[in-house]
Amino acid sequence: MARSTPRGRTGAARAATVKDVADAAGVSIATVSRVVNGAPRVAEETKSKILKAVEDLNYVPHTGARSLVTRKHDLIGVLLPDIHGEFFSEIVRGVDEAARRRGLHILVSNITGDANEDARVVSALRGRVGGLLIMAPDEGPDPLATRLPADLPVVLMNTRGGGGRAALMIDNHAGALAAMAHLAATGRRRVAHIAGPGRNIDASERLRGYRDGLAACFGGAAPMILPGDFCQTSGFAAGRAIAAMATEDRPDAVFAANDMMAVGCALALSEAGIRIPQDIALAGFDDIPLAGLVRPALTTVRLRMAEFGRRALARLAGCMDDPDSACLEIEAMRPELVVRDSCGARAAPSGEEAQPLAL
């Protein structure tokens, strides 16, 4: 007795299989498989019979069974650090979009930065995913990358020490350099830097850009580095420290390793009556939404994270299709300077001073 929704003994619906479709269409399961997978050389009439049965039975192939025989997985593991909530959704959106275009799905998990814990996560993903996208900006050169299963295509995103793996980097150094060059071009002479957490690759590359910018655009001026941790609070503290300096020691510009700290710094400076940008120009990094909302809006460096995710997935898909292709290349994505009025030249209209700083 044929039933359109076959049921098991418990009453829970059982999903239709190739067999069900084959029976309903009066063909063999081989032919059903061919049609479902879009193989050529199937009679038009047969095809439509099968398609109808698929529709009627609401048939969806069991992907596990399929991957068992094809030895392929259409699942991509995406491992992102716990902290990057800020960019998390944009990256995931980009990856998902690119994946869907290729008929792939993404399996998302957080990694902690603890190498053992993270290795366990990766291991749990093997035998389940066809490839891995990993972003671990806080890890040292050793841990994750070197422990990855050799048989798994991997693209590292903005992660240190690829160990010969394909990698897509953010060119933080170039971005920082651009910010420094802009500060120099608008007439600033002495730029302080609010650094990010030391082990973070973004932070250290931005710091390196700051130092090189000093050499390249500020005649090798001495660095002035304030510690920070990417959080608003640490930027605020740095701003306080700057405000506490004797006027002649104060920098006339601050380049913060990210926007959150730049905002914190701006808050502290303005509380101390220091004018932005007249007294101190301010530049950040990331172009978070807030950067455009504060007044004066933040000059910053922007990276399109969704595009970053799309590209990373494209790379990975390439590696999966052709494992012998150039999967070892390291590619970098260049961020873009976004100039806003927090970086205005010193010669601002004097009328502006009366305006309250609306941060």
Partner DNA sequence: CTGAAAGCGCTTACAG
User: Considering the rule CB under 7 A, would residue 52 count as an interface residue with DNA?
Assistant: no
CB of 21 to a second copy, least distance (A): 13
Nearest to 297 by CA among 341, 252, 259, 339: 341
CB of 45 to a second copy, least distance (A): 25
User: Considering the rule CB under 7 A, would residue 314 count as an interface residue with DNA?
Assistant: no
Segment lying near DNA (by CB under 7 A), choices 25-33, 180-188, 242-250, 328-336: 25-33
CB of 259 to a second copy, least distance (A): 11
- Which of 3, 7, 14, 52 lies at the binding interface for DNA (CB under 7 A)? 14
d(CA 259, CA 290): 8
Segment lying near DNA (by CB under 7 A), choices 60-68, 191-199, 218-226, 322-330: 60-68
List of residues contacting a second copy (CB under 8 A): 5, 10, 12-15, 58, 60-68, 73, 75, 78, 82, 84-86, 88-90, 92-93, 96-97, 100, 105-110, 121, 123-128, 149-151, 232, 263, 267, 270-271, 289-290, 293-295, 323-324, 356-359
User: Considering the rule CB under 7 A, would residue 34 count as an interface residue with DNA?
Assistant: yes
CB of 2 to a second copy, least distance (A): 18
Considering CB distances under 5 to 8 angstroms, the limit depending on partner class, which of DNA, a second copy, none binds residue 40?
DNA
- Which of 1, 11, 38, 45 lies at the binding interface for DNA (CB under 7 A)? 45
Segment lying near DNA (by CB under 7 A), choices 23-31, 152-160, 186-194, 253-261: 23-31
User: Considering the rule CB under 7 A, would residue 300 count as an interface residue with DNA?
Assistant: no
User: Considering the rule CB under 7 A, would residue 46 count as an interface residue with DNA?
Assistant: yes
- Minimum CB distance to DNA smaller for 58 or for 146: 58
DSSP H helical ranges for 149-218 = 172-185, 201-217
User: Considering the rule CB under 7 A, would residue 103 count as an interface residue with DNA?
Assistant: no
Please state the separation of Cα 40 from the chain's center in Å: 39
d(CA 332, CA 232): 28
Please state the separation of Cα 263 from the chain's center in Å: 22
User: Considering the rule CB under 7 A, would residue 334 count as an interface residue with DNA?
Assistant: no
Neighbouring-strand partners of residue 333: 170
Q: What is the DSSP string of 290-358?
A: HHHHSSSPPBEEE--HHHHHHHHHHHHHHHHH-TTSSTT-EEEE--EEE--GGG--S---GGGGGS---
Both tokens assigned to 44: 């038009």
d(CA 113, CA 160): 12
Contact (Cβ atoms closer than 8 angstroms) between residue 72 and residue 102: no
Which long-range contacts link 10-18 to residues 24+ away (Cβ below 8 Å)? 15/59, 15/60, 15/62, 16/57, 16/58, 16/59, 16/60, 17/59, 17/62, 18/59, 18/61
User: What does the DSSP 8-state code read for residue 7?
Assistant: B
CB of 10 to DNA, least distance (A): 14
Both tokens assigned to 316: 């990975």
Please state the separation of Cα 266 from the chain's center in Å: 26
Considering CB distances under 5 to 8 angstroms, the limit depending on partner class, which of a second copy, DNA, none binds residue 13?
a second copy
- Minimum CB distance to a second copy smaller for 40 or for 64: 64
User: Considering the rule CB under 7 A, would residue 37 count as an interface residue with DNA?
Assistant: yes
Both tokens assigned to 168: 């897509």
Question: Collapsing DSSP states into helix, strand and coil, what is residue 105?
Answer: strand
User: Considering the rule CB under 7 A, would residue 298 count as an interface residue with DNA?
Assistant: no
CB of 347 to a second copy, least distance (A): 23
- Minimum CB distance to a second copy smaller for 78 or for 253: 78
d(CA 297, CA 31): 62
| Interacting positions 117-146 with DNA (CB under 7 A) | 127
- Minimum CB distance to a second copy smaller for 190 or for 304: 304
Hey, CA dihedral for 208, 210, 216, 220, is it positive or negative?
negative
- Residues near DNA (CB under 7 A): 14, 17-19, 27-34, 36-37, 40-43, 45-47, 59, 61-62, 65-66, 68-71, 127
